[in-house]
Structure 1
Amino acid sequence: MFRRATSILVILLFPVLAGAAVLHVPGQYSTIQAGLDASAVGDTVLVAPGTYSGTGNDNLNFHGRAVALIGEGGAAQTILDGSVSNHRLMLLDQGEGPGTLVQGFTLTGAKVSYYGGAILCDGSSPTLRELLFEDNHGYIGYPNDAFGAGLRVTFGGAPQVFDCVFRSNEAAAGGAVCIEGGGAPSFENVLFEANYARRGGAVYGGSNATFTRCQFVDNVAPSAATDDVVDKPGWGGAIYLGAGHSPSFEECLFANNLAEHVHTVYGSGPGRGGAVSCSGGGAEFLRCTFHGNGAEPEEGLYQGGTLDVYGAGAVTLTDCVLAGTTSGYAIHCDVADGIPDANCCLFWDNWAPQFGGACPDLIGVDGDFEANPYFCDVDAGDFSVAGLSPCLPANNACGVQIGAYGEGCTITDAPAPPAATALAAPFPNPFNPKVTLAFTLAAPGKVALTVYDASGRSVAVLLDTELPAGDHHVDWRGQNDAGHEAASGVYFVRMEAPRYSARQRMVLLR
């Protein structure tokens, strides 16, 4: 993704004005700021490979000029390190436009209270290209005061971000990026990986941003304490959208993102939106692929494992794949006004049931259907599809590409999908002295089978172990974990397995 920048490449990618100069750091100027101070509109400040930190190499100010700041060795060799001073690395707040270019750096170690750990674009719209934002923190003190550890965009700012990576950044909101203030920044071919924030593990807000061919992978919205000493769950493993935000996503991948639950004496609740949590805002998703996202439950209460809409929202899903949700519903809506407009979307292998809350079953509505997408190699992160996939235009009734990726492998005779994971009805029911609990596993995995009484208290743990795929059964003889006979009454058996949770009612008659 990153390549070595040379003076020739700079001229090809970023034409300079006649008579513009190339200023060398540290050859001519000892610090990056000294080079920027000496520059004029159209100049290039070319920074030699190395690690730059401390006074003169952080809190960099472009003075509103259209200047190119280039790391000569690319991001792998040209590093801006804020860990020494706990400062922001760049501040662009003087109306810088697309003519201000930052290219070819790693930005790491920044720690700033409130806003923008590595770069703050306050009403500015620079061009950011081939940058690695890694291990930045959006706060020094209390973590609830942190917004956008990698990049903060506000007051109508609209940076253009190309071919960048945001990895392992942490804040309270927007682990990688926070976008507010009505701007329309653009992100193209950007990877958001393993970022961490209670609201929006990767991105908080969005305003009118556009994301094209971006990847959101392994981001987490953790549970966390807040300044009112109440523990709260994570919302939006990858994206959190509040009121007034309406970004768009085209041909993006959301894989293995997680929203954590919380259960402490200070608060409890399930995670919401393993991939996307929408709380009063809206978003458009076109040809996006969602896979392996999840939201942790709390006391048996589940929310949206892939998409969660809290309150009214305006979410549109067009030609998308929603598959492999690990925990929680594929889509959950609190109210009918939050039901997304889903058109020609494919659903597959999600935690059952797929739709929760006020969200109805969307299968068979507006071209939505359930089928195996035949990904080429999920374990290797390859979400392109085989030639027989219903995601390809010739293989679906909508005649469109569904998901972010087209054909990428030549499987012509793929095996039939396994039987679905399911918990059968208890038999006999009512029962005395024993009941048989049968279930099917579609794939090997850990299975927990627990009996609860009508008040929700655990009575007996019947299974908590790894099992092979196939049909299984367990007998319960009406005894609790201590070996004592349970009283007559209503009981529930709950089964937990990979991407599956279900319960059945049964009656014990003594």
Structure 2
Amino acid sequence: FENQEDTLSVLSGLTIRHASEEAVWCDGASPLIRDCIFADGIRGITCRDAASPFIRSCTFRNNEFPDNYHQSGAGVGAGLYCIVGLDPGSGSNPVLDSCIFEDNRASRGAAIFTLQSSPILRNCLFRHNGYPGFQTLGGAIFVSGGEGPLVVNCTFYDNIASTGSAMALQLDAHAVLQNCLLAYNRVRTDTNAVIRCQDASSVDMSYSDVFGNANGNFVGCLSGMEGINGNFSADPLFCDTAAGNFGIRGHSPCVPHHPLNRSGQLIGAYGVTCDGPVWIVATDGDDITGTGTYQYPFATIQRGIDQCQTGDTVLLRAGTFSGVGNRQVSFGGKAVVVTSEYGYDSTIVDVDLASRAFEFTGGEDSLSVLHGLTIRGAAEAAVYCDGASPTIDNCRLCFNVAAIDLWNGSDAHIVDCRIDSNMVVGYNNATGVRCHFSSPVVERCWFEANASLSGGAVYTSGPSAQPVFAACLFVRNGYADFQTSHGAAVEAFNQSLPKLINCTMYGNQAVWGPAVHTQDANAELSYSVVAFNQEHAYPSEGPIQTLSPGDHVTLICS
């Protein structure tokens, strides 16, 4: 392709093998190349002089560009080679979507080599590229100068290099990686890394999992990035890499609902492809004759959980679930997901004034998940946790005496929930989230109209209670007419330290401290809005009150 062809020129459905140069040459042209295999040759595709083809669902396999081939010097880019033309601004910027690069070999950039070019790579797999003897620089990708590639939702696995097993950059080059998975890549020496930067080169990485790589994960030019911009290091739980299945399991940290994955989107090239069984529960099911299928569902949530092994899912059909087996439901320490088919508006767990709906007392962690349910009518708490830290995601908890009651190191992850209209007659702690010696992370939750005579949305107690509330809304908590004595939004006691970041506290009502009230405790508010809250007894003291000597509330940019 060298006559300025565009995407109306199509190469589709071909296998091209044993090319003695490149299988496809694009010089200043941008055709559409789809569903092709480039194998066992010198190189798959060369892009030169502003060539920007769209390459979709292609496989580059077992190509080798040897050193000094046609006196070319070091072998580069056995899969894809992107270079400038005579004009320094004529870099080649192809777009690759859902491609596979495996078992390619070259001295630099065994899969891809870019020179002053900026390809876009989406949903691609880079597997086992680079010479087995560690002679490669940049096992998967080598970037030389320029802005470099944008890499989104790609998986890098078992690529091999002397340094930069996933990527190497030189000559002030730059690359961006988003929602990528870099796992079990190999380098030769202890001083080298999965991504190597030289000559003032740099990488921006966000929402990516870097795990199990030789000589460390967040080292080299990734140093300091763990825990920043949503990056983390955790076992991605691949399905079966030996069989070529690079999908992930349903409880992988790379799935969108996992608490480590702050992007809310998939990390890596492939989603869940080997999830455990899904057990169906329906209001017209039967726990005796049912088999947990769509045709013969179970009748109760507890029956579904009892059937589960680690990684399984209990799926609730639309309807209202109540009675025995749908209250005081125990996960029994299992890492399973209980979710609805159509979201919390259509799937209700009604405890009907029994004590609790769900109990987590078996050391459950974030892989035990409640998702997409409305939970109402609990006489004690909709969700009770003692020494357990489940994930509660996209749920509505309403019309309970308390929504979530956390005890003794229950550091749950509570995200995208609506917690409203939980009330109790008489003096009690808050009716939204109670943190007794527990430090949950609560993100993007809506607290509204939660009240007791002595609290509202959130209660914290104990020196180990340091919960974080991020991007939450607290609105109109506390009884009207100032029947709530203090802490309509947040009340902190007994050496606890709640932290609120990017939160809004509006229209909460109490006699004292309608937004925040402390007693022998402290609190922190950062980048938050506290507006139009109403205090009855001492209006001059404002919406935040510290009761005990030595208490303080720290405000940062609020």
TM-score when normalising by structure 1:
0.48
Tell which structure's C-alpha radius of gyration is larger. Answer: 2
Quick one: higher RCO (CA 8 Å, sep 6+), 1 or 2?
Answer: 1
TM-score by length of 2: 0.44
